[in-house]
């Protein structure tokens, strides 16, 4: 069943290449085999997260218009090989479909019942496979920007870790983008923008993300505006 995405940030963040490369470096060891990319949007994360260990990449996107844009990129060979598109959600998947990696990159916060969503995703994960969630952190940073793009919530490390689906062991729960935290705090406290401007995104990506890569390592990835959790499916 097709849905219409209400957010407006996909184009804004499509050129945040330093951020996407940083996320890819963090997640590299957990992505491989048959991959399900839930809420793939316009496919802008795929070239960064795809790696030689990937055998197949399925972009699951409920918005038919966005899915067509991914199909156009596949046809133009601007996405890596072995990519396919499926219009729908995890609820519409073949019950027998199985994956080695299931990704929720800036997606879970858009889903009303996040616990049920991850439990359903777990049924499609092979033993030893990884369920990867990256989401905005800190509920007190919830801003007009979050509301404008359809977020239900932001997450603390503890809140995200508590969403562990059945028969899945948490192997990583970390915070990223410590420098970007202060930009989000300023927006929440002072600017209250519904959407950041392209120059603001460019500044964050060019200057704050490289700084965050250094600071995050210094802080042991315990502080930032983004949280990532990774579970391994148990047999």
Do the Cβ atoms of 174 and 221 come closer than 8 Å? yes
pLDDT in tens, 61-73: 999 999 999 999 9
The whole-number pLDDT of residue 186 equals: 76
Sign of CA dihedral 26, 30, 34, 39: negative
Rounded Cα gap, residues 30 and 50, in angstroms? 11
The whole-number pLDDT of residue 63 equals: 96
Do the Cβ atoms of 141 and 226 come closer than 8 Å? no
Residue 42 phi, psi (nearest 5): -105, 10
The whole-number pLDDT of residue 148 equals: 83
The whole-number pLDDT of residue 1 equals: 52
Residues of the chain predicted below pLDDT 50: none
- Per-residue three-class SS string for 114-172: HHHHHHHHHCCEEEEEEEEEEEEECHHHCCHHHHHCCCCCCECHHHHHCCCCCCEEEEE
Residue 84 phi, psi (nearest 5): -140, 160
The whole-number pLDDT of residue 65 equals: 95
Rounded Cα gap, residues 34 and 28, in angstroms? 14
List of residues 6+ apart from 134 with CB closer than 8 A: 23, 27, 104, 105, 106, 226, 227, 228
Rounded Cα gap, residues 224 and 154, in angstroms? 12
The whole-number pLDDT of residue 138 equals: 92
For the domain made up of 10-233, give the CATH fold: Rossmann fold (3.40.50)
Rounded Cα gap, residues 187 and 196, in angstroms? 9
The whole-number pLDDT of residue 67 equals: 97
């Amino acid at each position: 069943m097709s849905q219409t995405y209400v957010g407006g940030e996909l184009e804004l963040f499509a050129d945040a290449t330093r951020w996407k490369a940083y996320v890819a470096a963090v997640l590299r060891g957990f992505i491989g085999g048959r991959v399900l990319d839930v809420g793939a949007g316009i496919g802008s994360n795929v070239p960064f997260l795809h790696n030689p260990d990937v055998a197949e990449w399925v972009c699951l996107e409920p918005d038919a218009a966005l899915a067509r844009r991914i199909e156009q990129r596949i046809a133009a060979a601007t996405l890596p090989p072995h990519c396919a598109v499926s219009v729908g959600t995890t609820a519409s998947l073949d019950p027998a479909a199985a994956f080695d990696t299931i990704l929720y990159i800036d997606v879970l916060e858009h889903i009303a019942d996040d616990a049920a969503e991850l439990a359903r995703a777990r049924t499609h994960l092979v033993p030893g496979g990884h369920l990867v969630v990256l989401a905005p952190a800190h509920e007190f940073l919830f801003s007009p920007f979050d509301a404008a793009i359809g977020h239900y919530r932001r997450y603390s490390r503890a809140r995200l870790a508590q969403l562990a689906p059945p028969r899945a062991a948490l192997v990583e729960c970390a915070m990223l983008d410590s420098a970007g935290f202060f930009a989000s705090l300023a927006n929440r406290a002072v600017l209250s923008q519904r959407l950041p401007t392209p120059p603001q995104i460019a500044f964050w990506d060019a200057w704050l993300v490289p700084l965050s890569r250094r600071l995050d390592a210094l802080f042991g990835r315990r502080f930032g505006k983004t949280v990532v959790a990774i579970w391994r499916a148990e047999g």
